[in-house]
Amino acid sequence: MWLLNFAHQHKLLRVWRLHTPASVSAVRFQVESYHFSAALRCPEDRRLNPGARRRLSVQHKPADRQERAAQSGAFKNETFQKRYQRRGDDCRVSAELRKLCLEDFPADKEMQRRQKSAPASKAEESEIVFGVAPCLLALTQGRRKAWKLFVKEGESSRRASVIKVCEEAHQKGVQVHRVSKKDLDKMSSGAVHQGVCLQASPLRYLTEDSANKGKDSSLPLWLVLERIQDPMNLGAILRSAYFLGVDRVVSSLRHSCPLSPVVSKASSGVMEVIGVYGYENLGDMLKMKAAQGWHVVGTVGPEAEVPVTKCSDFQMTKPTLLLMGGEGEGLSQELLSLCQTLLTIPAGRDLFPGIESLNVSVATGILLHSLLHSRRLSDDENQRYLLHHRHKRN
C-alpha cells in the first residue's frame, strides 16, 4: 500500500512539473529528489527486499533525463551565483572590520605609517643609491625624492664622511636606519656601498622641454654620446665631462644604458649634479645645430680610411658638438655622414693587433681635454685681440 501511494505521488509530481515554469520546476525537482533520497535512506526502507528496492527505482526516458539534467544545471548555476555574491559581501565586510581592528593596535599603526612613508605607486618608484658621494649629492642636490637612509652599524658609521651624510638626511627629514653589512650588500647587489645606501626616486634623461635653460659659455662644447651601454663607462665619461667643463652632455635613448645607481657610483656622484639630455633621434638634433652654425665633430680610430685630423691639431673656433660612439662599433654610419670633421688620437708607439684602441671613457677624456684646451687658447686670443683694439682706440 505504501508503495502504491508513493508511485501515485511521484506520477502527480511529474504531471505538475510539465505545467509549471522552469525555475519553480527546478526547485520542486530538488525537493522531490531530496525526499526520494531520504526515503531510500530511512530505516524502514532497509526492511524492503531487493526486489522491492528495484521497483522503487524510477525508470526515466532519455528525453526526461536530458530535461532533468538541464534543470539541475540551471539551478546549480543560480545557486552558485548567489553564494558567490554572498561570499563577496562577506569579504568586503571582513576587510572593513579588519581595518577597524588594525586601527586599535599601536604596532599596526606604526606599520601603516611606515608603509605611507615608502613609495606606493609607479609614480613614486624607488631605487637604491649606494656610496658616500652619490648619497650625499643625491640629498644635497634635491633632484631625487629620498625616503630612507641605511647606514652600516658599527665603527664605520662614525667616519666623518658618513656622519655628514646622516646629518644631511636628518636636515631633509629622511629616516636613518642602522642595518647590518649583509643587508647593505643585498640592497646594493654586492657593489661597493661604503656603508651607506639611500632609498630614493630614480633619475631620468632630461628633455629639451623639461630641462632648465642654463647659460652656455661664449664658445660652448656639447658632448654627444651614441649607444654607450656600459654603466661604468658612462659614469667615467660624466665625471670627466663635469671636471673638464663640458657645457652639456647629450645621449641617445635607444641602445643606451639608463641613469642607474651604478652610473652614479662610477661617476662619484657627478650624475646627481649634471643633467644628461636624452634624444630619440640624434640625427635630427645634429642637423638642426649644424644649420645654426655649430661644428659637428666625430671621432674614429687611426686606422680609418677617411681624412682625419689629430686631436692636438684641431682648433675650436665656434660652438662644437663632439660625438663619441659606443663600445666596439663606434659611431653609426648615419652620424658619421653628418660630421664635418673627424678627429683621432694618435698612438705613441707601434701597437699589437687587438689593442689598437682606447676605452671609450679614456678616449673621451683625452679628446675633451684637447678641445677645451684649444677653446681656452681661443678665448685668450680673443681677449688679447680685444685689448689690442681698445689700446689703439685710446
What cell was used for 363? 678616449
pLDDT digits (tens, 9 = 90+) for 309-320: 999 999 999 999
Is residue 332 in some structural domain?
yes
pLDDT at 77: 53
194: left (phi over 0), alpha (psi -120 to 50) or beta: left
Q: Is residue 34 part of a domain?
A: no
Q: Are residues 227 and 331 in the same domain?
A: yes
Domain count, the chain: 2
Q: Check if the beta carbon of residue 124 is closer than 8 Å to that of residue 201.
A: yes
Looking at the structure, do residues 176 and 217 belong to the same domain, yes or no? Answer: no
Q: What span, in angstroms and rounded, lies between the C-alpha atoms of 113 and 172?
A: 18
| Shared-domain flag, residues 334 and 363 | yes
- Domain-terminating residue out of 139, 171, 200: 200
User: Which of 200, 222, 243 is the last residue before a domain boundary?
Assistant: 200
275 and 151 housed in the same domain: no
Which CATH number characterizes residue 221's domain? Answer: 3.40.1280.10
Specify if 57 maps to a domain.
Answer: no
Q: Are residues 185 and 315 in the same domain?
A: no
- Report if residue 92 sits inside a domain: no
Determine the Cα angle at 90 with ends 87 and 93, to 5°.
Answer: 155
What local confidence, expressed as pLDDT, does residue 80 receive? 47
- pTM (predicted TM-score): 0.67
Residue 167 sits in a domain whose CATH number is 3.30.1330.30
Query: CA-CA distance, 245 to 264, in Å (whole number)?
Result: 18
Q: With cut-offs at 50, 70 and 90, classify the pLDDT of residue 356.
A: confident
CB-CB contact of 78 with 86 (8 Å)? no
What are 87-144's pLDDT values in tens digits? 444 434 344 334 333 334 344 444 444 444 455 444 469 999 999 999 999 999 999 9
- Looking at the structure, tell me whether residues 190 and 259 fall in a common domain: no
At residue 132, the pLDDT reads: 97
Which stretch of 208-212, 270-274, 300-304 has the lowest confidence by average pLDDT? 208-212
- Asked whether residue 267 falls in the same domain as residue 183, the answer is no
pLDDT at 46 over 90: no
Query: Which of 200, 217, 240 is the last residue before a domain boundary?
Result: 200
Same domain membership, residue 368 and residue 219: yes
Q: Is residue 108 part of a domain?
A: no
Sheet with 196-200, side-by-side order of all strands = 127-130, 196-200, 146-152, 175-179
In a domain, 115, yes or no: no
Give the single-character DSSP code of 59. Answer: P
Over residues 272-283, the mean pLDDT reads 96
Report pLDDT for 153.
92
Domain range for 246: 208-346+358-380
